[in-house]
Amino acid sequence: MVPTKLRVAVIGAGAAGLCAARHILASSETFAPPVVFESSDRLGGTWIYTEEKEDATGRIIHSSMYRDLRTNLPKESMAFPDFPFDPSLPSFLHHSDVLAYLDSYAEQSGVCDHIRFQWQVEEVRPIQRDSGSLDAWEITATVQHPESTQQVTEHFDAIMVCTGHYTVPFIPPIPGLDTFQGRLLHSHSYRYPEPFANQSVVLVGAGPSGVDLALQLSNVAAQVVLSHKRQHVCGLPKDVIQVPPLLKVEQKTVVFTDGSKMPADVLILCTGYKYSFPFLDLAQLGLQETDYGVGPLYQHLLPPQHPSLFLIGLCQQICPFPHFYCQVLFALAVLSGRCALPSVTDMEAEVQRQLGLHLKNGGLARYFLKMREQQWSYMEDLAHLAGFPPVPPTVQQIYEDTHASRLCNVSTYRSRNYRLLGPSAWELVQDGVRI
């Protein structure tokens, strides 16, 4: 009897979903062509820039991209290990170059034919099979036709959830926020600096968005204040005032934890995003919401009780595309039987062990998925377990160089240009010449 090929559903056609689809297609001896569900009408997810932030019904439009964004990682660390960016581009790219890259990644992998645009997944349910077999899955999706919508249900052997986590704004519980009489927004809704000309703007949070917005707004706003808990952000223009975290809001005045106060026309919350899986019944999967998002997930990736569902790309402070690549190849090795998983009990115990270690090393529970320097051994472990070549050392070397140079100066680090000389060698260049 010819064994039937596994049918995998991929939810989302952003970078992670495209990567999943590409490698499923490339493993056609084991897998049927993927079915990629994409709720929007275009591939690219985060990298699709639109001026609108909500659609006509008030529903948040997916992307948090802003007009003038340039990448905070150089293309040499950012690329999928099996698909380099155009070598003629500078290292730090405008967002439109990344979207073009994803377009050609999808095109050249043959993935486009397998994406169902305007199919929004509403529900994913496990179907128990005989003991010893992995669960099957039932997906219900709403299909948008020009004049109507329709609900469709289909069955799959495995699911890759690739829905991203930079869409649903996290609004911290700041006392008095609802009394604010100026303009209040989240960085998700920021598009360009012009509407803030001559305004007094307070930015809350000094993550990548907070710092970027401070740089952009300092050119047009009357005053830019960056309120944050980091030590000091080096390299911001002198007219950006750095102050301690926000304590409370009193109508038009913002008060900081050191007791200082300031009037503000605009308050922009650069306070990050929430994980959201409205189509999953977490309890049914043996999962729950945790301080850090959702768990327990073995290898930050799969629910031990249902190891044919994979949540790709939940970790933060990573090189996203290489990270997705490793997670996808690991997931496919598990599904094809090339990589055996420990027992459910052992996987759950392993997650607890790792969380315990993180806490013992002084980490806060809510930062369990923030990987930074741990991302390298994590990707190496996945490669080792699943038997694929690890990502080239230059990914780490150039990432670390960028990280150090961003710490020194957030205004200038994007002027660096790297040139790859091999899997573990690179140099800095200017106008094509080594410096």
Q: What DSSP letter does each residue of 49-110 carry, written as one string?
A: --S-SB-TTSPBPS----TT-B-SS-HHHHSBTTBPPPTTS-SS-BHHHHHHHHHHHHHHHT
What does residue 393 show for φ and ψ, rounded to 5 degrees? -55, -25
Q: Rule CB under 6 A: is residue 17 a binding residue for ligand FAD?
A: yes
Which stretch, 59-67, 213-221, 237-245, 423-431, contacts ligand FAD (CB under 6 A)?
59-67
Q: In what order do the strands lie in the sheet with 266-269?
A: 183-186, 266-269, 200-204, 223-227, 240-243
Q: Pick from 148, 163, 139: which is nearest to 39 by CA?
A: 163
Q: At what angle do helices 15-26 and 320-335 cross, to 10 degrees?
A: 40
Per rule CB under 6 A, count of chain residues that contact ligand FAD: 33
Q: Rule CB under 6 A: is residue 307 a binding residue for ligand FAD?
A: no
Sign of CA dihedral 175, 177, 180, 184: positive
Taking the complex as a whole, how short is the minimal distance between the CB of residue 353 and ligand FAD, in angstroms?
27
Which stretch, 11-19, 286-294, 397-405, 408-416, contacts ligand FAD (CB under 6 A)?
11-19
The pair of three-digit structure tokens given for residue 257, joined into one six-digit string: 């934890």
Taking the complex as a whole, how short is the minimal distance between the CB of residue 345 and ligand FAD, in angstroms?
30
Residues 240-299 that bind ligand FAD (CB under 6 A): 279
- Contacting residue, 10, 22, 23, 40, with ligand FAD by CB under 6 A: 40
Q: Find tokens 């090795």 and name the residue.
A: 333
| Count of other CB atoms within 10 angstroms of residue 386 | 19
Q: Which is nearer to ligand FAD, 13 or 264 (CB)?
A: 13
Taking the complex as a whole, how short is the minimal distance between the CB of residue 415 and ligand FAD, in angstroms?
15
Q: Which is nearer to ligand FAD, 12 or 182 (CB)?
A: 12
Sign of CA dihedral 83, 87, 91, 95: negative
- Contacting residue, 9, 24, 99, 121, with ligand FAD by CB under 6 A: 121
Q: Rule CB under 6 A: is residue 120 a binding residue for ligand FAD?
A: yes
* Type of residue found at 388: F
Which stretch, 39-47, 148-156, 243-251, 424-432, contacts ligand FAD (CB under 6 A)?
39-47
- Contacting residue, 23, 38, 287, 388, with ligand FAD by CB under 6 A: 38
Taking the complex as a whole, how short is the minimal distance between the CB of residue 413 and ligand FAD, in angstroms?
12
Which stretch, 9-17, 53-61, 234-242, 248-256, contacts ligand FAD (CB under 6 A)?
9-17
- Whole-angstrom Cα distance, residue 243 to residue 214? 13
Which stretch, 160-168, 286-294, 377-385, 403-411, contacts ligand FAD (CB under 6 A)?
160-168
Q: Find tokens 């923030």 and name the residue.
A: 370
Q: Which is nearer to ligand FAD, 180 or 426 (CB)?
A: 426
Biggest alpha carbon–alpha carbon distance for the chain: 76
Label residue 319 exposed, middle or buried (CB < 10 Å: 0-12, 13-18, 19+): buried
- Contacting residue, 46, 218, 223, 375, with ligand FAD by CB under 6 A: 46
ω before 393 within 30° of 0 (cis)?
Answer: no
Taking the complex as a whole, how short is the minimal distance between the CB of residue 277 and ligand FAD, in angstroms?
9
- Contacting residue, 8, 10, 15, 382, with ligand FAD by CB under 6 A: 15
Q: Rule CB under 6 A: is residue 314 a binding residue for ligand FAD?
A: no
Q: Rule CB under 6 A: is residue 134 a binding residue for ligand FAD?
A: no
- Whole-angstrom Cα distance, residue 289 to residue 140? 23
Taking the complex as a whole, how short is the minimal distance between the CB of residue 46 and ligand FAD, in angstroms?
3
- Whole-angstrom Cα distance, residue 226 to residue 231? 12
Chain residues binding ligand FAD by CB under 6 A are: 11-17, 37-40, 45-47, 62, 64-65, 69, 71-73, 78, 120-121, 162-164, 166, 209, 279, 313, 320-321
